[in-house]
Amino acid sequence: MAEDNVVVFENVSKIYQMGEVAIPALQGISLQIPTSRFSMVLGPSGSGKTTLLNMIGCLDQPTSGEINVCGEKVAEISDDNISEFRARHIGFIFQNFNLIPVLSALENVEYPLTLLGMKTAERRERSMKMLEAVGLAEHGRHRPNQLSGGQKQRVAIARALVKGPSLVLADEPTANLDSKTGAAIIDLMHRVQEQYGATFIFSTHDPQLISHAQDIFSIRDGELIEHRREGKCRP
């Protein structure tokens, strides 16, 4: 794998088998997603975005083809090591925010560090810095239900980044936000992506977000139809 690609797909297909019916969700996709850039997967509902991101996130295996993530052939990582690989290398951001309702914003951000066994004082300091980076220093004690949708997604961004992952995956992170808040969240993601040097990949069905991304992977019916490289810098 070339060093400057964090994700490489070679002829990847995913077929879901529903009883007698075979649903081809991804069909022979080959792509390279460059390191330290802000990439977007664009496609209508049902085009295969979630399936693609789940493959990149090692949450599911392809039916055929080869996937390389962070320099590792995913098929060769043992079941025992795969959750450790994910915990170290990959941060996830979800459409529904997926914050833990009984924890404060700060505790939600700390949670991945707890899983990695980090000591309390260091954990707290790093999490506070991340909350500051997403503009929520004043909201650390708030529970998720005391935050707006945009604020919840900022907490989720802080949580995804706090462990210093090489790769952050966001599956339709703006789908539950109004368009103005959604665009602001994408800009914030791009800002922290540059600041922390991680690679970001987000998916959306909204073509209006094209102007916010550097690399755009367009998919339709499980096929990659275009990889456009904008070379865009954040305004």
Ligand X SMILES: Nc1ncnc2c1ncn2[C@@H]1O[C@H](COP(=O)(O)OP(=O)(O)O)[C@@H](O)[C@H]1O
Provide, rounded to whole angstroms, the least separation between the CB of residue 20 and Mg ion: 24
Q: Which of 2, 3, 18, 20 binds ligand X (CB under 6 A)?
A: 18
CB 89 within 8 A of CB 77: no
Q: Which amino acid is at 232?
A: K
Please count the residues of this chain forming the interface with Mg ion, following the rule CB under 5 A.
2
- In 3D space, the residue among 125, 126, 133, 202 whose CA is nearest the CA of residue 171 turns out to be 202
Which residue of this chain has its Cβ atom nearest to Mg ion in the complex?
A: 50
Please count the residues of this chain forming the interface with ligand X, following the rule CB under 6 A.
12
Buried b (16+ CB within 10 A) or exposed e, 26-62: bbebebbbbbebbbbbbbeeebbbbbbbbbbbbeeeb
Is residue 16 near ligand X by the rule CB under 6 A?
A: yes
Is residue 50 near Mg ion by the rule CB under 5 A?
A: yes
19-58 binders of ligand X (CB under 6 A): 23, 25, 43, 45-51
DSSP H or E run through 162: none
- In 3D space, the residue among 205, 203, 233 whose CA is nearest the CA of residue 56 turns out to be 203
Is residue 152 near ligand X by the rule CB under 6 A?
A: no
- In 3D space, the residue among 170, 158, 151 whose CA is nearest the CA of residue 212 turns out to be 170
* Sequence-separated (6 or more) residues with CB below 8 Å from residue 156: 93, 94, 97, 98, 99, 108, 173
Is residue 204 near ligand X by the rule CB under 6 A?
A: no
Binding letters toward Mg ion, positions 132-161, x by CB under 5 A = ------------------------------
Provide, rounded to whole angstroms, the least separation between the CB of residue 115 and ligand X: 26
87-116 binders of Mg ion (CB under 5 A): none
Residues lying near ligand X in the complex (CB under 6 A) are found at 16, 18, 23, 25, 43, 45-51
Residues lying near Mg ion in the complex (CB under 5 A) are found at 49-50
